[in-house]
Structure 1
Amino acid sequence: MDLEEATKMAKRHEATYNDDFEHYGDIYADDAVVYRPVQGATHDKATMAAVERRATAACPDRKTRVLRVFAAEGDWMGMEELWEGTNTGGDEIFGPPGTRVAVYAVSLCEVRGGKFSRVTAWTGRPPATS
């Protein structure tokens, strides 16, 4: 994988998440392992999709934006993204309803057969701006 291929995969991730969320799981292998040090690991596509559905239900206006693709070698790529939305309730991790939420992520992803097979995503909240 080179940077051009990695950028295409990152843009596919962004477009599917933002505009075709119903099919977001389709860009993951059935046995995909997604590890978020803050939340732990999911060991299959269905569990990963359930975690993402919970976040999107709490923040229905959410969007993710790939800020940059910074690495590509072999089957691996690295990307940086910013996820933003407004919490309408249903997930206490995002604070009280009405809270504007931003989550920054740096992810290392293994891609096999055009699907994410392993992902480690370091996430955090950027500081609030006035």
Structure 2
Amino acid sequence: MIYEALYNILIQKMPDVFIEGETLFINQMPAEREFGGMFRDTPTGIERDGYVTSERRGTFVFALRGNDYARLSSAIERVMEALTIHGVESGGYLIKNCYATLEPIFYQISLANMTETSVTFSIVYGKI
């Protein structure tokens, strides 16, 4: 799955922020996690090309949770930079294009005193 390839890119580019299995997740993040990032599917999912069967395109969301607004703001900007990708191979995929389509959205502080932010990305990729 493409998220594993993107996960590895973030682990490599942001080792001071993300620790494998502790602060970076795919589609589920433990509720008790005080700081963490997560790749999440969008309702529309990833489209399969009927003519170029190895190519995929679509959108995904990257979300961050924490209790320090400044840390979240800085981290999400770095995630947007790290996941701006053109022509990179990772995990058996060629990521042709990946980029944030919107500025980060910050959500209201929860009852657990946590803030969340998310960014939607567009991606085009294919299996190698």
Normalising by structure 1, report the TM-score.
0.39
Question: Which has a greater percent of helix?
Answer: 1
Normalising by structure 2, report the TM-score.
0.40
